[in-house]
Amino acid sequence: MAQSPAVSPGVTLDLSGVSCPGPIIGAKKIVMELAEGEVLLLISDCPATMDELHTWAERTGNQVVKTERLTSGATGYYVRRGRRPELEPQVSLDMRGSVCPGPILEAKKVLGGMASGEILRLVSNCPGARADVEGWARVTGCKLEDVVEFGSHDWEFYIRKA
């Protein structure tokens, strides 16, 4: 694995003293809340963490970008949030600049022409978009697979057609 000296974690989770699968479960909870590209520093002294973390990261589209031995004897694992490979959208719809309910109305039109199971990537910067899209997805039966916030009120919604 290539080491990257310029990795800066946004969140640190110290699970020293916790045996596996605890560190993996903790890392998963934190990483799934991070925006794509953000980094978690997981600190663990469980010997099984290395293999389990690499397996989990590979399976979920995340990446262990750096490991380092710490003075405490534990290991620091830098985990970068990636996009799950199964969330590659078939259609992308960029609605930045459009206010609600515009993004939802356009998403509804686009989804109408898509096959069941396909994914729409909807991009919006409307301040109310997150709550509106989440509620709309629940009501329509579409599955909101992921939400990536890449700025203040800038979101990517990954919506799977029912």
| Residues 105-139 pLDDT 10s | 999 999 999 999 999 999 999 999 999 999 999 99
26: left (phi over 0), alpha (psi -120 to 50) or beta: alpha
pLDDT at 1: 42
**DSSP code, position 131:** H
Pairing of the two strands 143-151 and 154-160: antiparallel
pLDDT at 122: 96
Report how far residue 54's alpha carbon sits from residue 79's, in angstroms, rounded to the nearest whole number.
9
Residue type, 61: G
Query: Between 69 and 146, whose confidence is greater?
Result: 69
pLDDT at 149: 72
For residue 151, is pLDDT > 80?
no
Known active-site residue 20: yes
Query: Between 76 and 59, whose confidence is greater?
Result: 76
